[in-house]
């Protein structure tokens, strides 16, 4: 409806009017032509809370923004592994936007956490595209169901802040499709965001704001996106190239250069139909925004309660030896650290929110006689001997010590990347000193990204709070005291040290060239495939109760492309507390099980279920073709490679609880490959005619091998069952087979290649 009306309106506009629409009127407002029915659309920062400035808008956010609810950041929300949490976040944000007359919220950010040091990781969900896409899709659907448009960002391969405006991301076609585009594809297809934001960086040497391959060919033609493409702020360098590339709206305002568009159309440098297409996107967005506007009031207390609820669902219990947690009400508890007074609850930069209220931990605890506080260390990385000694002395007298640690704002923000995974030295040193005099220590972390924990073996309990929003301390205390049973799980891997991270050797690149050398092996895909030890694996999370998983059932032991496959598993609460269990389903593929180099397992489905003690539930998953596919660069399409796979129910990305083997049939997709005598047998078998031919001649080949006594030798080969199928004879060219089969006439070979190459 909006698109049809927009086309009609654009036909009535002058060239100058069209040009004026393609850049903003103000910092966060689009241009308008009220007499034509085109109203200005107001956009605002705030993936996890509204950042609408009062009075004059400015690029750096110098002016105070309106008071708003600061919800947990994406790094925290993703740890809930619960799409309902993402939905509630979207609805909560929408209500705040409606009350402040905001039409489009600039979020969510669903970029992949390629490196643990990206300064903006707190704004992103995960290192896994399926999880990021699932959470992002739920967020966008809920936000837009309330009449507020989403701006899906930052599209695409925008995985660092270093040289973010000039860097060129060099990503293989396969990694781009499987890892970096996948989450965007899922959200675009499932949630249909009103807008998509083109990022600062280049891909394949072309700025995203000018990159027609990604903005038109993939986004629109392949995925069916029908919304508006907007630039990231100040990401357009060439207005004409942006319109040609498919970026409809340049932000912020650039009216001084609108004449460039007019002149380009008049000179023939820019086709007017492309300008019309851009204007149709902008006008359709305006019409949609106008139709969905409704002035409402916003209840700040209700918003705060929701922020607390979401944080409770997302905190991750990483370690709990000896059941130190939950805290015993009769024990003397000492809280150490400046974060108790000044919590780190949100990120810095364009997502910074003027929060409604952030109760300190002291305020949350109240006048509890068994809980005392000492500072120990401040927000600066300066070891104060007097404060530290006071904390050590107090720790000796306490029953339990809770250390509130984390990354101060100066260490992570939009605009720059972190240069270390370490916590401030003063924190690491004091935690170790406390552990030398007190064994019952819990460390609570407030941070937007992964950190090293050199003291992890010295403390009994660790809670990851991430940036949990304005309700951070209420959520933390609820988890520590057992009022809330923690159910969060890590949406990213915690390596032992930065040098272990998958992108360590190639991140953040050389000059402006950023080569994604780890390819598809990002995060747990790397660690699990290499059986590399990490501090805490992707998907890890503990509870105050226990769960058992049993009766994995997969409906068939053979899968053919195009089918769906149902898998179900029963999970039971075997403990004494009510809790929420996370069921993680991965599709596994041992190295060498197919002719394709793949991660040993990949998350394909997940579901969180609430269970009372003794209660059990059966969770049913439906797996589709994409669950078994990889991106075939020859065919330029997702394809299912044949081989042996496992359906796995996992505790985390490193620990398999249940598994069932299945055989997957190879899917053939024409890729333009030419076949001849030098084509390896393993490649010939992927073609239906080649497979048919090999099945025909296999008995003759077996007879030759038997006469050569190679069959007996193969049977005696140590670890023969572990040999990848593509090794050995299958890696030989057809020429080898021809020599083994002199009885086949030359005409048979010629006909084979002619038929296989006809496609």
Residue positions annotated with a catalytic role:
232
d(CA 312, CA 306): 10
Quick one: CA dihedral 454, 456, 457, 458, positive or negative? positive
**At which residue do the structure tokens 């077996």 appear?**
702
- Altogether, the residues listed in the chain come to a count of 759
Give the pairing of strands 149-155 and 43-45.
unpaired
Of residues 164, 70, 122, the one with CA closest to residue 412? 122
Burial code (b: 16+ CB inside 10 Å, e: under 16) for 611-649 equals beeeebeebebebebebbbbbbeeeeebbbbbbebbbbb
Round to whole Å and give the CA distance between 704 and 707: 5
Closest C-alpha among 515, 408, 466, 632 to residue 78:
466
Contact indicator for 88, 296 with CB cutoff of 8 Å: no
DSSP structure string for 243-276: HHHT--BEEEE-GGGHHHHHHHHHHTSS-HHHHH
> Are residues 406 and 468 in contact, defined by beta-carbon separation less than 8 angstroms?
no
Instruction: List the beta strands (DSSP E) in 340-414.
Output: 354-355, 371-374, 400-406
Q: Are 264 and 240 in contact (CB under 8 A)?
A: yes
Question: HEC profile for 631-657?
Answer: EECCCCEEECCCEEEEEEEEEECCEEE
Torsion of CA 729, 732, 738, 739, to 10 degrees: -80
Secondary structure class of 559 (helix, strand, coil)? strand
Contacts of 293 (CB under 8 A, 6+ apart): 98, 101, 103, 147
Bridge partner list, 645: 662
Residue 546 has, within 13 A of its CA and on its CB side, a CA count of 6
Radius of gyration, alpha carbons of the chain: 29
| 21 burial type by CB count under 10 A (0-12 exposed, 13-18 middle, 19+ buried) | buried
Q: What are phi and psi of 133, to 5 degrees?
A: -65, -40
Q: 3-class SS at 733?
A: strand
Tokens at 389, concatenated = 């000694």
Q: Is the peptide bond before 156 cis (omega within 30 degrees of 0)?
A: yes
Tokens matching residue 559:
């899968």
Q: Work out whether the CA dihedral 107, 110, 115, 121 comes out positive or negative.
A: positive
């Amino acid at each position: 409806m909006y698109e049809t009306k927009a086309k009609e309106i654009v036909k009535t506009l002058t060239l100058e009017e069209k040009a004026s629409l393609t850049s903003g009127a103000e910092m966060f407002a689009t241009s308008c032509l009220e007499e034509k029915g085109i109203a200005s659309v107001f956009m605002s920062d705030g993936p996890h809370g509204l950042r609408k400035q009062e009075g004059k808008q400015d690029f750096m956010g110098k002016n105070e923004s309106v008071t708003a609810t600061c919800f947990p950041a994406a790094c925290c929300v993703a740890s809930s592994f619960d799409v309902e949490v993402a939905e509630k976040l979207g609805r909560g944000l929408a209500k705040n936007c409606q009350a402040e007359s905001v039409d489009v919220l600039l979020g969510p950010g669903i970029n992949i956490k390629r490196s643990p040091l990206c300064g903006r990781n707190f704004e992103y969900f995960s290192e896994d595209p399926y999880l990021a896409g699932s959470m992002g899709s739920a967020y966008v659907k809920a936000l837009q169901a309330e009449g507020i448009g989403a701006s899906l960002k930052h599209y695409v391969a925008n995985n660092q802040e270093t040289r973010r405006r000039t860097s060129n991301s060099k990503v293989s076609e396969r990694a781009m499709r499987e890892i970096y585009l996948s989450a965007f594809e899922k959200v675009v297809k499932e949630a249909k965001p009103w807008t998509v934001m083109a990022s600062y960086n280049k891909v394949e040497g072309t700025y995203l704001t000018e990159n027609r391959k990604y903005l038109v060919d993939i986004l629109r033609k392949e995925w069916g996106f029908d919304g508006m493409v907007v630039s990231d702020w100040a990401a357009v360098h060439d207005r004409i190239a942006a319109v040609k590339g498919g970026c409809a709206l340049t932000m912020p305002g650039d009216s001084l250069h609108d004449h460039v568009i007019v002149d380009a159309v008049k000179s023939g440098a820019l086709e007017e139909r492309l300008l019309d297409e851009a204007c149709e996107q902008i006008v359709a967005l305006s019409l949609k925004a106008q139709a969905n506007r409704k002035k409402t009031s916003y209840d700040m207390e209700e918003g705060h309660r929701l922020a607390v609820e979401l944080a409770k669902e997302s905190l991750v219990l990483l370690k709990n030896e000896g059941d130190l947690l939950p805290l015993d009400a009769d024990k003397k508890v000492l809280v150490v650290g400046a974060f108790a007074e000044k919590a780190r609850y949100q990120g810095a930069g364009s997502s910074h929110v003027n929060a409604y209220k952030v109760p300190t931990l002291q305020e949350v605890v109240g006048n509890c006689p068994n809980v005392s506080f000492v500072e120990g260390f401040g927000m600066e990385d300066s070891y104060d001997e007097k404060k530290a000694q006071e904390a050590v002395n107090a720790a000796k007298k306490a029953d339990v010590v809770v250390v509130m640690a984390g990354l101060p704002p100066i260490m992570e923000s939009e605009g720059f990347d972190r240069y270390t995974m370490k916590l401030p030295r003063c924190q690491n040193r004091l935690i170790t000193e406390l552990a030398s005099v007190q064994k019952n220590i819990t460390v609570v972390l407030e941070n937007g990204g992964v950190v090293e924990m050199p003291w992890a073996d010295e403390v009994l309990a660790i809670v990851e709070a991430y940036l949990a929003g304005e309700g951070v301390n209420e959520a933390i205390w609820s988890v520590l005291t057992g009022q809330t049973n923690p159910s969060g799980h890590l949406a990213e891997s915690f390596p032992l040290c930065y040098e272990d991270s998958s992108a360590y050797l190639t991140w953040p690149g050389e000059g402006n060239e950023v080569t994604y050398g780890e390819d598809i092996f990002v995060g747990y895909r790397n660690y699990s495939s290499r059986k590399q030890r990490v501090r805490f694996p992707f998907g890890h999370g503990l509870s105050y109760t226990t769960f058992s998983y049993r009766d994995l059932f997969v409906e068939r032991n053979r899968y053919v492309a195009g089918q769906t496959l149902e898998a179900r598993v029963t999970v039971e609460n075997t403990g004494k507390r009510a809790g929420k269990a996370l069921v993680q389903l991965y599709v596994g593929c041992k190295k060498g099980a197919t002719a394709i180099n793949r991660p040993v397992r990949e998350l394909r489905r997940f579901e969180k279920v609430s269970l009372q003690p003794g209660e059990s539930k059966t969770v049913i998953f439906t797996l589709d073709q994409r669950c078994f596919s990889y991106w075939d660069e020859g065919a330029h399409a997702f394809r299912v490679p044949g081989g042996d796979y496992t359906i796995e129910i996992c505790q985390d990305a490193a620990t398999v609880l249940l598994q069932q083997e299945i055989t997957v049939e190879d899917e053939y997709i024409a890729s333009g490959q030419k076949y001849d005598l030098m084509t390896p047998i393993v490649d010939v078998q992927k073609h239906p005619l080649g497979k048919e031919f090999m099945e025909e001649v296999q008995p003759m080949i077996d007879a030759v091998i038997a006469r050569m006594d190679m069959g007996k030798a193969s049977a005696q080969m140590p670890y023969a069952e572990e040999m990848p199928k593509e090794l050995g004879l299958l890696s030989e060219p057809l020429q080898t087979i021809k020599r083994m089969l002199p009885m086949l006439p030359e005409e048979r070979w010629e006909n084979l290649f002619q038929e296989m190459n006809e496609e």
